[in-house]
């Protein structure tokens, strides 16, 4: 994957708020329970969207490891690519729109 494609993929994955929330949760903890996280954002998206759009998108791009059977979500091989950007976003969160994360 070229550097340009890598950036395009990263920002495409960050485009949706539910995916940003998943990655932000993983920045704080190496493994999370997908069911618990999906309940927290249940008012924002449907379970179908969660399971068929957002988690697969992050898993296909190796930002997360998602065990469908147990419902656990962990950091994928490429998580470090997004981790630094998430740290900057957290640091500058007061300058971002309220609903960004």
Q: Where are the domains of the chain?
A: 3-91
What is the rounded CA–CA span in Å between residue 76 and residue 26? 10
Top-tier CATH class for 3-91? mainly alpha
Q: Could you tell me if 54 and 22 are in contact, meaning their C-beta atoms sit under 8 angstroms apart?
A: yes
Find tokens 């419902």 and name the residue: 71
- pLDDT tens per residue, range 34-89: 777 766 665 667 788 888 999 999 999 999 999 999 989 999 999 999 998 888 87
Tell me if the pTM is above 0.75: yes
């Amino acid at each position: 994957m070229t550097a340009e494609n890598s950036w395009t993929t990263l920002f495409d994955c960050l485009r949706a708020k539910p995916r940003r929330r998943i990655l932000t949760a993983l920045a704080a903890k190496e493994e999370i329970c997908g069911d618990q996280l999906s309940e927290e954002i249940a008012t924002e998206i449907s379970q179908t969207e969660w399971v068929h759009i957002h988690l697969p998108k992050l898993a296909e791009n190796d930002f997360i490891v998602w065990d469908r059977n147990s419902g656990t979500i962990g950091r994928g091989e490429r998580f470090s690519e997004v981790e630094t950007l998430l740290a900057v976003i957290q640091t500058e969160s007061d300058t971002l729109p309220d609903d960004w994360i």
